[in-house]
A and B are shown apart, each in its own frame.
Chain A
Amino acid sequence: AQETTPASSPATGQQTDDGTGMEATGSIDIGYRWKAGFGGNEDMYRSIVNLGQGPRLLGANFSLANPLGKGKYVDRLQFNANSWGGDPYNTARLFAEKTGVYQFSLDYRNVKYFNNIPLFANPLLGQGIYTSQQAFDSSRRTMDFQLTFLPGKAVSPYIAYSRDSGFGPGVTTFSGDGNEFPVLNQLRDTSDYYRGGATLNFSRANILLEQGFLTFKDDQRIYQTGGTNPGNRPNPLLGQDIVLNEFDQNYHARGSTPVTRVQATAIPWSKLTMTGRFVYSRPSTDFNYDLRSLGNFLSFELFRIYSQEWDAAASQANRPHELGDFQIEFRPHDRVRILEDITTDQFQGTGSSSLARSLAGTQPLSGPPDPNNTFSTSSADSTGLKFGMNQNQLEAVVNLTSRLSVRGGERYVWSDSQITLNDELNKVSLTRNIALAGFSYRLPRKASLSLDFEAGNGSRVYTRTDTFDYKKVRLRGRYQFWDSLMVSGSFSLLNNQNGQSGINNDFKSHGYSIALAYTPKGSDRIVANLNYSRSDLNSDILYIIPQFLTSGRSLYVADSNYGGGEVDLRVVRNARINFGGALISTTGNLPLRFYQPHGGFVIPLQKHVALIADWRYYRYKESNLALQNFKTNLITGGFRFSY
């Protein structure tokens, strides 16, 4: 054989070194959304959908790519943004790369959370008050940035920063003896996470060393500025109207943690791949709290009423946390893989808190007035929480043929926990054995069928609702009938039983789904997807009814049917229409229906401009609770500019 004569690629012949080969593509959708035909509960609508009316930047995509890999500053750049201009889910992402020089990514999100479910946490519903006492209208903003230098080179350093913040008003409850008062709530928390490190790349190994530092603060103010708040108790208690006139509670938490991460992957031998990791953090929190209230209150402890209260608390908590894992893939034969996975996850928390409480205007509930009408007390608590979970999982995968593989193995879990409150110690250990099995059959691009099976049993549980003696099965398959039509389906089952005395937890869930995808190759005239899913969940567990101290059964049933589909159709002159939607119908403890049909079109007006329109209908209906229903149309019209 003769030596190949290198030839220039077709593209090479056109290349220029000045970056002029950069190709830009993108589109931007702008429009206006109308909300029409609204009916029902606005708070419920905002808690679930929360899309409003007004001008919107519906979406924007922009990409630059240099086909020659010779961009001056960037070879590839992608930017996309969604839902700006008043919508509750604003996102923006940027990725840029210069091959072998740097990689940069930036992700920004601003998500609004509104939650005011009339029946949730609302003891006053019977009085015609439709505001939850656990409501909020907050925002959460997250930002992640990472810059990697010399990606893929022997030493690749990087720096990264993440910020997460939440803020906004809400309603929460201040609880006193004998009454609870809905009060205003102002939330603000911020977390900043700085990281830096380097990846060491070798031909058969990769080592990552990272040091991070996280700071966080959480400030909360709960307050009421005047007026008389009768709280949730409609009638006097022990002859007293327990009311709140003024209230101011401030909560300040400050914390930080270093985070050290070391991880490595290696292929020391062609038949062996090893990965390992160790992460250590030591989060700690310093906390201050003060409270001032005026009103008419009751103290069960003193059996007195009082009119003023001042509280001050200081506390400190830390929770060192170590995580380590090690995985091996050993390939003794072309058809056999041995997978070993060892994990340990340990943390040890300690905390201490001191609370000083002062009451004024105290008087006995009965009898003559007491001239000593002040009362002060202080208390201190110390806590500890240790938790460790370890597991060893060993599995073998055997390729019986090039298409069929079977596997089996075992996972063994052993865990210890220890809870301390002052001098009271509660210590529990448990072990679990879990059998693992499965098979997979794959006919490339034609069909696949896979089964995963787990059966577990253990010595005890940490919580009553935890899995104990369980079986879990998941079967998933798909078949490509012809190039354009694929059918897929899945079945899942989780059956848990815990007959231990005092628990008697019986939990079953089934899930089924079937989906059809019609995507003709070589033609974009029609694309269609249809799917149907059903899930049945039944939980049956005994509990003690507190007021009667008798045994009751907590039965929870949720049977859910989901139908959804999308059809996208090219009509004339590249104009496209689309329609589809989703329907959820649930029966059981909370029967409801949630319809979300939609339709729209894109009509090209000229080469770079298209008319776009979208209609969506939301109908939420709880069968037994007319109060929590809503319906609305959302109609959006606008233009798409592309280049």
Chain B
Amino acid sequence: RSQQSQTQAEPKKAAPSSVTPPAKAEYATSSACAACHDELFKKFLKNPHQALEVLANSEWKDRACESCHGAGQAHIDAGDGSQILSFTKEPMNDTNKRCRSCHGVHPQLAAMPNSMHGKNQLACTECHSIHDAKHPVHLLSKAPTELCSSCHTEIFASFGKPFSHHLREKAVSCIDCHLPHQGFGIKPRITSNLQLQHAHGNESACLKCHTNVRGPFVFEHFPVHAEGCMSCHEPHGSTNPKMLTRNQVQFLCLECHSFTTGVTTASQPPSFHNLQSPRFQNCTTCHIKIHGSNVSPAFLR
């Protein structure tokens, strides 16, 4: 193998752990890598990182492999697969350091360490496949939904419930609502960091599609803003119609609209309807503009 190399590097020198390029003499060029890793190299040339290899002004022109794996001459000389940086065995920190050396200031990636994925030490390569991406956009190792569901199995199960967003039918995907890297997404209101996207710059991710409930309204339903859509809806899937958190609308409403003045903000005067009558068991039969109204303080029209 070393005969295929056109370099004369120092023998058996380990690849540096820093992302800074070592002395040029240790490089073997991509052609030498391709002599053994031909298939990988061909695939690599079809993905966006090829810019490193082919652009005339690239610092790594003709040696893009070594931009990530470190200088390769020692690896070629060793001939036993050693002396090269292999990301399959790297700790997450070192892998991510490599990726972030180029992508660190990307607006969506810079905040990755603050995300739940970052805090839980996910390596970039757990989702992205640099050589053999099955999903070419963003070099994902699988299609986004398939990729997310391989870890978030319980969430994927929710989409099997009868009333759900049609993720399984490919009408939506996880990244329509979520930001895997966090980036400039919605911050947790009270619990958890759901890494949600913003719609239209600073609005709830749900309003990206459900624009008819955006408002502003003269008469706003306060929980929509204070607690968000999830105070009444289960966004992944539910056994209840309209993905509500309760199977009877009356309880969904009455749990807040009860006699608790002074304890909460949203405790408006409760209903005096006879809930034993089917006419009043679905509050939204009459309170049809429950997300907000421009005419009726009680959301009747």
Contact between B222 and A2, CB atoms less than 8 A apart:
no
Contact between A596 and B255, CB atoms less than 8 A apart:
no
Contact between A421 and B297, CB atoms less than 8 A apart:
yes
- Contacting residue for A279 out of B107, B188, B201, CB 8 A: B201
Docked complex: A219-254 residues within 8 A CB-CB of B: 232-233, 249, 253
- Contacting residue for A464 out of B110, B157, B258, B284, CB 8 A: B258
- Contacting residue for A249 out of B93, B198, B267, B301, CB 8 A: B301
A6 interfacial by beta-carbon distance below 8 Å: yes
Contact between A353 and B295, CB atoms less than 8 A apart:
yes
* Distance in angstroms between the alpha carbons of A89 and B163 in the assembled complex: 15
- Contacting residue for A465 out of B41, B201, B256, B288, CB 8 A: B256
Residues of the B chain whose Cβ atoms lie less than 8 Å from the Cβ of A68: 45, 54
- Contacting residue for A99 out of B10, B51, B151, CB 8 A: B51
* Distance in angstroms between the alpha carbons of A417 and B62 in the assembled complex: 60
Given A11-B45, A216-B211, A273-B113: A283 touches B93 (CB 8 Å cut-off): no
Given A180-B286, A351-B219: A206 touches B266 (CB 8 Å cut-off): no
- Contacting residue for B294 out of A89, A315, A426, A444, CB 8 A: A315
Given A289-B294, A445-B88: A1 touches B217 (CB 8 Å cut-off): no
| Chain B CB within 10 Å, residue with most, of A23, A122, A351, A466 | A466
Not counting A317-B294, A478-B151, a sample of 7 additional A-B residue pairs whose C-beta atoms are within 8 angstroms of each other reads: A10-B31, A249-B301, A462-B227, A463-B223, A490-B154, A531-B156, A590-B239
Given A465-B231, A556-B246: A432 touches B190 (CB 8 Å cut-off): yes
Docked complex: B256-301 residues within 8 A CB-CB of A: 256, 258-260, 262-267, 270-279, 281-282, 284-286, 288, 294-295, 297, 300-301
Contact between A11 and B41, CB atoms less than 8 A apart:
yes
Contact between B32 and A191, CB atoms less than 8 A apart:
no
- A-B residue pairs in contact (CB < 8 Å), sample of 6: A1-B9, A10-B41, A89-B171, A99-B55, A173-B286, A438-B119
Contact between B23 and A349, CB atoms less than 8 A apart:
no
* Distance in angstroms between the alpha carbons of A89 and B209 in the assembled complex: 14
Contact between B190 and A173, CB atoms less than 8 A apart:
no
Q: Closest 8 A-B residue pairs measured CB to CB?
A: A1-B25, A351-B218, A319-B216, A89-B171, A533-B157, A562-B157, A402-B91, A265-B110
* Distance in angstroms between the alpha carbons of A208 and B4 in the assembled complex: 46
* Distance in angstroms between the alpha carbons of A277 and B184 in the assembled complex: 7
Residues of the B chain whose Cβ atoms lie less than 8 Å from the Cβ of A415: 226
Given A23-B46, A126-B278, A462-B265: A515 touches B153 (CB 8 Å cut-off): yes
* Distance in angstroms between the alpha carbons of A2 and B284 in the assembled complex: 79
| Residue of B whose beta carbon sits closest to that of A419 | B222
Contact between A99 and B50, CB atoms less than 8 A apart:
yes
| Residue of B whose beta carbon sits closest to that of A582 | B160
- Contacting residue for B270 out of A199, A445, A546, CB 8 A: A546
Residues of the A chain whose Cβ atoms lie less than 8 Å from the Cβ of B239: 558, 560, 584, 586, 590, 592
Q: B254 → chain A, closest Cβ, in Å?
A: 5
Contact between B218 and A315, CB atoms less than 8 A apart:
yes
Provide the main secondary structure of the chain A interface.
strand
B215 interfacial by beta-carbon distance below 8 Å: yes
A575 interfacial by beta-carbon distance below 8 Å: no
A511 interfacial by beta-carbon distance below 8 Å: yes
Contact between A273 and B104, CB atoms less than 8 A apart:
yes
Residues of the B chain whose Cβ atoms lie less than 8 Å from the Cβ of A323: 198, 201-202
Q: B21 → chain A, closest Cβ, in Å?
A: 11
* Distance in angstroms between the alpha carbons of A166 and B207 in the assembled complex: 13
A635 interfacial by beta-carbon distance below 8 Å: no
Contact between A121 and B295, CB atoms less than 8 A apart:
no
Contact between A266 and B220, CB atoms less than 8 A apart:
no
Contact between A285 and B294, CB atoms less than 8 A apart:
yes
Q: A497 → chain B, closest Cβ, in Å?
A: 14
| Residue of A whose beta carbon sits closest to that of B285 | A121
Docked complex: A515-545 residues within 8 A CB-CB of B: 515, 517, 531, 533, 535, 541-545
Interface string of B121-159 (1 = CB under 8 A from A): 101000000000000110000000000001111101110
Residues of the B chain whose Cβ atoms lie less than 8 Å from the Cβ of A513: 153-154, 157
Q: B76 → chain A, closest Cβ, in Å?
A: 12
A341 interfacial by beta-carbon distance below 8 Å: yes
Residues of the B chain whose Cβ atoms lie less than 8 Å from the Cβ of A146: none
Contact between A511 and B154, CB atoms less than 8 A apart:
yes
| Residue of B whose beta carbon sits closest to that of A120 | B241
Provide the main secondary structure of the chain B interface.
loop
Q: A498 → chain B, closest Cβ, in Å?
A: 9
Contact between A560 and B215, CB atoms less than 8 A apart:
no
A205 interfacial by beta-carbon distance below 8 Å: yes
- Contacting residue for A232 out of B32, B93, B279, CB 8 A: B279
Q: A405 → chain B, closest Cβ, in Å?
A: 5
Contact between B191 and A467, CB atoms less than 8 A apart:
yes
- Contacting residue for A125 out of B169, B274, B278, CB 8 A: B278
- Contacting residue for B161 out of A249, A315, A584, CB 8 A: A584
Q: A155 → chain B, closest Cβ, in Å?
A: 15
Contact between A464 and B184, CB atoms less than 8 A apart:
no
Given A83-B170, A175-B300: A97 touches B121 (CB 8 Å cut-off): no
Docked complex: A373-414 residues within 8 A CB-CB of B: 381, 383, 385, 387, 389, 391, 395, 397, 399, 402-403, 405, 407, 411, 413
Residues of the A chain whose Cβ atoms lie less than 8 Å from the Cβ of B174: none
Contact between B295 and A164, CB atoms less than 8 A apart:
no
B247 interfacial by beta-carbon distance below 8 Å: yes
Residues of the A chain whose Cβ atoms lie less than 8 Å from the Cβ of B77: none
Residues of the B chain whose Cβ atoms lie less than 8 Å from the Cβ of A259: 200-202
B82 interfacial by beta-carbon distance below 8 Å: no
Given A69-B45, A584-B161: A253 touches B294 (CB 8 Å cut-off): yes
Contact between A287 and B218, CB atoms less than 8 A apart:
yes
B178 interfacial by beta-carbon distance below 8 Å: no
Contact between A464 and B264, CB atoms less than 8 A apart:
yes
Residues of the B chain whose Cβ atoms lie less than 8 Å from the Cβ of A533: 153-154, 157
Residues of the A chain whose Cβ atoms lie less than 8 Å from the Cβ of B274: 546-547
A456 interfacial by beta-carbon distance below 8 Å: yes
Give the contact stretch, choosing among A30-38, A301-309, A358-366, A500-508: A500-508
* Distance in angstroms between the alpha carbons of A490 and B297 in the assembled complex: 44
| Residue of B whose beta carbon sits closest to that of A501 | B263
Docked complex: A173-204 residues within 8 A CB-CB of B: 173-175, 180, 187, 189, 191, 193, 199, 201-202, 204
Docked complex: A24-57 residues within 8 A CB-CB of B: 47-48
Contact between A121 and B282, CB atoms less than 8 A apart:
yes
Contact between A444 and B214, CB atoms less than 8 A apart:
no
Contact between A417 and B218, CB atoms less than 8 A apart:
no
Contact between A543 and B255, CB atoms less than 8 A apart:
yes
B68 interfacial by beta-carbon distance below 8 Å: no
Contact between A620 and B162, CB atoms less than 8 A apart:
yes
